[in-house]
Amino acid sequence: MQKRKIGQLEVSALGLGCMGLSHGYGAATDTGDAIKLIRAAYEQGVTFFDTAQVYGPFTNENVVGEALKPIRDKVVIATKFGFELPSPDSGQHMNSRPEYVRQSVEGSLKRLRTDVIDLLYQHRVDPNVPIEDVAGVVKDLIAEGKVRHFGLSEAGAQTIRRAHAVQPVTALQSEYSLFWREPEQGIIPTLEELGIGFVPFSPLGKGFLTGKIDATATFGADDFRSVVPRFAPESLKANQTLVSAITELAASKGVTPAQIALAWLLAQKPWIVPIPGTTKLHRLEENLGAAAVALSIEDITEITDALSTIEIVGDRYPAHLAARVGK
Give the residue numbers marked as catalytic. Answer: 55
Query: Residue 205: CB partners within 8 Å, gap ≥ 6?
Result: 177, 178, 179, 180, 261
Cis peptide before 70 (omega within 30 of 0): no
- Cα–Cα distances (Å) from 148 to 12, 113, 125, 145, in that order, read 17, 16, 20, 7
SS3 of residue 295 by DSSP:
coil
Count other C-beta atoms under 10 Å from residue 123's C-beta. Answer: 24
Q: State the Cα torsion 260-262-267-272 to the nearest 10°.
A: 170
Contact between 105 and 141 under an 8 Å Cβ cutoff? The reply is yes
- Cα–Cα distances (Å) from 40 to 50, 51, 207, 282, in that order, read 15, 17, 21, 11
| Residues β-bridged to residue 79 | 120
Rounded CA-CA distance 245/253 in Å is 13
Rounded CA-CA distance 190/251 in Å is 35
Query: Residue 99: CB partners within 8 Å, gap ≥ 6?
Result: none
Q: Are strands 76-81 and 9-12 parallel, antiparallel or unpaired?
A: unpaired
- Cα–Cα distances (Å) from 123 to 174, 204, 207, in that order, read 10, 20, 22
Rounded CA-CA distance 250/257 in Å is 5
